[in-house]
Amino acid sequence: MIKAIVNDKSTFTINPGAVITCNNQEVDWSAAQLPTGDYSIIMDGQSYQAQVLKIDRDTKTVVLQINQRQYEVAIEEPIDQLLASMGIKDALTKKINDIKAPMPGLVLKVLVTPGQVIRKGDPVLILEAMKMENVFKATTDAVVKEIKVAERTAVEKGEVLIVLE
């Protein structure tokens, strides 16, 4: 099941091969791509024309223009929902002041040094957790203030790994 949250208000759930709901109400809809690249959408008897303005795969957001109004849509895939149910929803979104371990694991590699300027999207650390390698990336431009862990060491959930400024 995929969730699409529109402007932090309406939540659509999409089950492949099943019904689509909006705020827990089933909706009747169809869509077709037009030759211009826009989309024609009919939902509950109303006709809409939609244009995709921006897709940000890192933050899983899409900006749409529907009938001359802009909407930001946040996409939650099944893995995002699983992480949230495990209490680690913010595993991929780190605060500017510090990067914390979202779960117990082993630091495989530290990819930055103190004083280094990093840009949004730069990899900063690789943590092995639950038999998976997780690459932590900078969520914003920052400077590495301090590295609190060493490679090949175990960390606990919530432990500060890297301090940013």
- The 10s digit of each residue's pLDDT in 58-100 is 788 999 999 889 999 988 888 877 877 777 665 555 446 688 8
**Which CATH number does 2-76 carry?**
2.40.128
Domain coordinates in residue numbering, the chain: 2-76, 92-164
pLDDT tens per residue across span 90-148: 555 544 668 888 889 999 999 999 999 998 889 999 999 888 899 988 878 889 999 99
Residue that wins the pLDDT comparison between 40 and 92: 40
Q: What is the mean pLDDT of residues 32-52?
A: 92
pLDDT, position 38:
92
- Whether residue 50 contacts residue 39, with contact meaning beta carbons closer than 8 Å, is answered with yes
pLDDT, position 121:
84
Q: What is the mean pLDDT of residues 21-32?
A: 88
Distance separating alpha carbons of residues 122 and 136, to the nearest angstrom:
8
Strand partners, 26: 21
pLDDT range class, residue 52, cuts 50, 70, 90:
very high
**Is residue 47 pLDDT above 90, yes or no?**
yes
Structure-token pair, residue 128: 């092995």
pLDDT, position 96:
60
pLDDT, position 95:
45
Domain pair 2-76 / 92-164, same fold? no
Q: What is the mean pLDDT of residues 42-59?
A: 89
pLDDT, position 89:
61
pTM: 0.50
In 3D space, the residue among 30, 33, 67 whose CA is nearest the CA of residue 48 turns out to be: 67
Assigned fold of 92-164: OB fold (Dihydrolipoamide Acetyltransferase, E2P) (2.40.50)
In 3D space, the residue among 8, 135, 156 whose CA is nearest the CA of residue 76 turns out to be: 8
